[in-house]
Structure 1
Amino acid sequence: MIGHYPCVVVADGLFPTKEIVWDKLRRASVVIACDGAVEKLVDGGIIPTAIVGDMDSIPSALREKYADRLFPDHDQETNDLTKAMQYARRTGQKEVLILGATGLREDHTLGNISLLMDYLPLFDRVEMASDFGLFTPINQTTWFACRPGQQVSFFSLRPGGEVTTHKLRYPLVRKDLTAWWQGTLNETLEEEFGLELSPESRMILFREY
């Protein structure tokens, strides 16, 4: 389900353990770490290409060891994930997979997932993976490959936008999702499904592996 990504950004949330996620991390040619994730990466045998953040969460020994790849950013108006994504954009990355951005504190999880919509116009392709599934931001009608019976949920980030579903067990027709639960816990029926969006719609789709 997760395509190959040449660039992976790793945040300091729940570190991935599933092989499907680790495979993408190992195969990435560029690994950008938020400073708080460096120790976990190194313990897992991954040396980051770049380390971005305010540098308040990286152990001093690692800060010295990897001084040649530190890119401090002390902007207090953005979090470390956004700093890492901005660095990816500045260095010409076009396709970025985000790991370690969910789990642990729920407020961080919700904030990070919502930021996917801000990152969408910056890259040709951007998604966020956890041990449980994949988050994809969409702002136009999109079809997805799937397996029958796969669990999917979607969340509206802009009230007033409408969604019509295709080939899902619980259909919606021109539905304006006014609460997060309204698009959750749906199920695919065939080997593809679609979300037809009005121009105003901004959705975050979650698909289980």
Structure 2
Amino acid sequence: IDLSDNIIACDGAIEKCLDRSIKVDYVIGDMDSLERKTIEELQLLDLEVIKIDDQNNNDLSKSITFASDLKASRIDIIGVEGGSNQHQFASYWSILDCEIESYIHLEDCIVSKINSSKVVFSIEVGTTFSVFPIGSCKGVTIKGSKWIIDNQDITPNSRGLHNVATEKEIEISCNEGQLLIFRSR
């Protein structure tokens, strides 16, 4: 958080930020989760509150769009755990729609995506990671792991659950499609 250029709180998350003395630059969302006391407190602070009533997108998607407008080169998302499972699941779709390099930091892992490209991650040998296709994916390759996949077409299933890094770097690529990657901490 300390190294961030901008900190954006999604709607009700501002209350947690205020409780933890995290300095926020923007609050974005439909503001349906805020208590009146918090709204009054926000008016006294030096931050920008951007109310977006669009119910076709969740507050995280609205914040990602705003970060894109700010020309962010990377987005790190924290605090999505807790609340309803539906809300948490929607967070994964939010990064899939995002063109910017983005990461969801969970208590036990970091979630990222691959869109028809190749990534190399530094990882500790023995660390577990999972790779899940979103729809059909063509030409998927995973190297540096216990279970190697070499240029295979894969469909959504549990096959990619709990692979293990056997090298200090793992390479994951996908010629066509989207993958979600969960790297254990």
> TM-score w.r.t. structure 2 length?
0.90
Q: In the alignment, is residue 207 of structure 1 matched against residue 183 of structure 2?
A: yes
Q: Which moved more, 1:141-150 or 1:102-111?
A: 102-111
1:70-108 deviation digits (Å, cap 9, x = unpaired): 100001111111111111122232221111123432222
Change (3 A) 1:48 1:72: same
Give distance in 1, aligned partners of 2:122 and 2:89: 26
Question: Aligned residue pairs: how many?
Answer: 181
Report the residue type matching 1:82 in the other structure. S
Contact kept? 2:7, 2:24, Cα under 8 Å: yes
Report the residue type matching 1:59 in the other structure. E
Q: In the alignment, is residue 80 of structure 1 matched against residue 46 of structure 2?
A: no
Out of 25, 33, 36, the residue aligned to residue 12 of structure 2 is 36
Unmatched tracts of structure 1, length 5 or more: 1-24
Give distance in 2, aligned partners of 1:104 and 1:181: 25
Q: Could you say what secondary structure the match of 1:66 adopts?
A: helix
Q: How does 1:77-116 map to 2 (within 5 A)?
A: 77-116=56-95
Report the residue type matching 1:66 in the other structure. L
Pairwise CA RMSD of aligned residues?
1.6
> TM-score w.r.t. structure 1 length?
0.80
Report the residue type matching 2:55 in the other structure. Q
| Large movers: runs of 4+ above 4 Å | none
Report the residue type matching 1:177 in the other structure. I
Q: How does 1:126-165 map to 2 (within 5 A)?
A: 126-139=102-115, 140-165=117-142
Q: How does 1:40-79 map to 2 (within 5 A)?
A: 40-67=16-43, 69-79=48-58
Kindly indicate which of the two structures has a greater share of residues assigned to helix. 1
1:31-65 deviation digits (Å, cap 9, x = unpaired): 10011101111101113111111111112122122
Change (3 A) 1:94 1:142: closer
Contact kept? 2:132, 2:160, Cα under 8 Å: yes
Residue of structure 1 in register with 2:149 after alignment: 172
Give distance in 2, aligned partners of 1:180 and 1:38: 36
